[in-house]
Each structure stands twice: as C-alpha cells, then as structure tokens.
Amino acid sequence: MTPWMWRRLAQTALEEDVGFGDLTTDATVPPGQTGSLALVAREPLVVAGLPVVPAVYEALDPAVRVDLLVADGTRLGRGDVLARVRGPARALLTGERVTLNVLQWLSGIATATRAVVDAVAEWDVDVLDTRKTRPGWRAFEKYAVRVGGGKNHRFGLDHAVLIKDNHIAAAGGVAEAIRRARRAAGPTVFVEVEVDNLEQLEEALTAGPDGVLLDNMDPATLQEAVRRAQGRVWTEASGGIRPESVRDVARTGVNAISLGWLTHSAPAVDIGADWEAP
C-alpha cells in the first residue's frame, strides 16, 4: 500500500463530502479555534485503515497533528483509542466523517477476516478473498483481508489464470483450455481451473494445472476431491462459504478457502470520534 493510494482514497472521499464547502463548520466554528479528537473503538474490533487518518488531515490542513496510537492489525476492545488528532477545529470537524467511514469499513473487513482465520487455526489452511470488491477500492479491501490474517487471491484478471466452465466450453475441453493459457500467458502466471464435481476434477488433473478451485461442493465431496488432488495440485474450496460453515470446509484438508463474504458483506464496526477539550 503506497502513500498515493491512501491520498487518493482520502482526497476522493473529501471532495465528494465537502463539495463547495462545509457549511456547518465554516458557519459555526471560528478559524482560530483549536481542539482535539480521539478516535475510539465502540466495540471489539481489529483495526484497519489507520493510514487514512494522516492522509485526510494533510489534505485539509497541514497544521493538524495526527498521533496513531496503535497499528493496523491490532485487536482493540470497546473504548480503546486508535488515534488522536489535534489542531485547527475546523479541519478536525470537516474531516471527521470521512475518516470514520474508512476506518469502520476496512476494520469491518479485517475483524471479520480475523474471526474466520481464528476459527480454522487448527488446520493448515489459507483464508482467501475474491474479486468481489467495490469498484476502485479493491487494493484497500484486499489489504484489510491481509490485516485480518487472510491472504489474497489474484488481484485482477491480469494476475493469474482462472478457467471457469464457460472458458472450458469455449475452448473445447479442460486440457485444451490449459494448453492455451500456458501458451499465451507468460511463464510467471499461475493457472487454476474451476471444477464442480469429481469427474471434472479427474479430467482437470490430467492437464496439469497449478491449482484447482473446488466449487460449491458439500464437505464429503470436498474431502474426496482433496484426497484425489493431494500431492498433485494445490486445492481451493469456494462458493457460498460463510463464517458459520468454514470449519466444516477446513477439516476436509483443502489448502485454501476463499470467501466473497469477507469483502462484499462483512458489516462495518463502530468507531466514533470524541471531542476533547484542547
């Protein structure tokens, strides 16, 4: 995560929210007034997104001083303070909502990921995200997954090959699809194939992919699939997996479990800003 990513996130959010100006703050708070905001966890959470705090306030006023009291990935309890922001009161208030929005969103993903990772800690399995993310902010949502202890599946369509049913149909079979992918994509590219049942799996294994995505299989089928693939290819379970079903999947022995839920449906966590006398 580079500095300009956080600056672009902060700038986009600020321009959208402030528009022609913060009518309330500009009207009610005198320019010279100073103050302090404490950003506080209102429930237990794993924090993610703290670099947005300085990015927001640098854009608003270089006179604001930001102290980050913890680092991304820290588990916090209700009432713990994440950061303290001091300086011109106008900037503090104008940037407050935008800052909290980012923290609540990314910490929500990190907190949910951490819970899933902890739930499967007894097995040697990676918890992965998917490409089911919000437009333009995938780097952040995938970062929050890493902060929560998960690992990232491919970032985009140019990062790895993932051959699905439709690609197979179009290519005239699994072997041909994999051969085409190998020929076109360059030697550093990972080639994975999605299979829906054991027959497809057997067919795929003959073609030597780097990995297989075992899609929407019940635990028994999954276990059999893992047994057949073991030692030959990397295995990933995917398809409608939720936090409550993840342990059943993990115990089948798959190498990785991917959950779209981590990024498209994890609820925000509650983080607030308390005004402190300057």
Catalytic (active-site) positions: 97, 132, 164, 194, 215
Task: List all residues 6 or more positions away from 245 whose beta carbon is below 8 Å from its beta carbon.
Answer: none
Residue of 94, 107, 111, 113 that binds a second copy (CB under 8 A) = 94
Alpha carbons 83 and 102: distance in angstroms, whole number: 14
Residue 13 Cβ, how far from a second copy at the closest point, in Å?
4
**Candidate list 38, 61, 119, 120; residue touching a second copy; CB under 8 A:** 61
Residue 218, burial from CB neighbour count under 10 angstroms (0-12, 13-18, 19+) = exposed
Candidate list 44, 48, 69, 157; residue touching a second copy; CB under 8 A: 157
Site string for a second copy, 38-57 (x = CB under 8 A): --------------------
DSSP 91-104: HHHHHHHHHHHHHH
User: Which range, of 10-18, 114-122, 218-226, 246-254, touches a second copy by CB under 8 A?
Assistant: 10-18
Binding to a second copy by residue 28, rule CB under 8 A?
Answer: yes
Size of the site for a second copy (CB under 8 A): 100
Pairing of strands 191-195, 161-163: parallel
Within residues 198-237, the interface with a second copy by CB under 8 A covers 210-211, 234, 236
Residue number, 14 or 201, with CB nearest to a second copy: 14
Burial class (CB in 10 A: 0-12, 13-18, 19+), 220: exposed
Where does this chain touch a second copy (CB under 8 A) — which range of 29-37, 79-87, 196-204, 219-227?
29-37
Under the criterion CB under 8 A, does residue 13 sit at the interface with a second copy? yes
Query: Residue 14 in contact with residue 98, Cβ under 8 Å?
Result: yes
The CB-of-25 to a second copy minimum distance in angstroms stands at: 7
Out of 47, 60, 66, 195, name the contact with a second copy by CB under 8 A. 60
Question: Looking only at residues 64 through 83 of this chain, which bind a second copy when binding is defined by CB under 8 A?
Answer: none
Spatial CA neighbour of 110 closest among 81, 85, 142: 142
The DSSP line for 113-182 is HHHHHHHTTTS--EEE--S---TT-HHHHHHHHHHTT-B---SSTTT-EEE-HHHHHHHTSHHHHHHHHH
Q: Which of 69, 74, 80, 138 binds a second copy (CB under 8 A)?
A: 138
Q: Which residues pair with 76 in a beta bridge?
A: 45
In the stretch 160-199, what mask flags binding to a second copy with x, by CB under 8 A? Answer: xxxxxxxxxxxx-----x--xx-xxxxxxxx-x-------
Region 112-131 residues binding a second copy, contact defined as CB under 8 A: 126, 128, 131
* Segment near a second copy (CB under 8 A); pick from 77-85, 195-203, 217-225, 265-273: 265-273
Tokens of 155: 């970032």
Yes or no: say if 229 and 252 are a contact pair by the CB < 8 Å rule: no
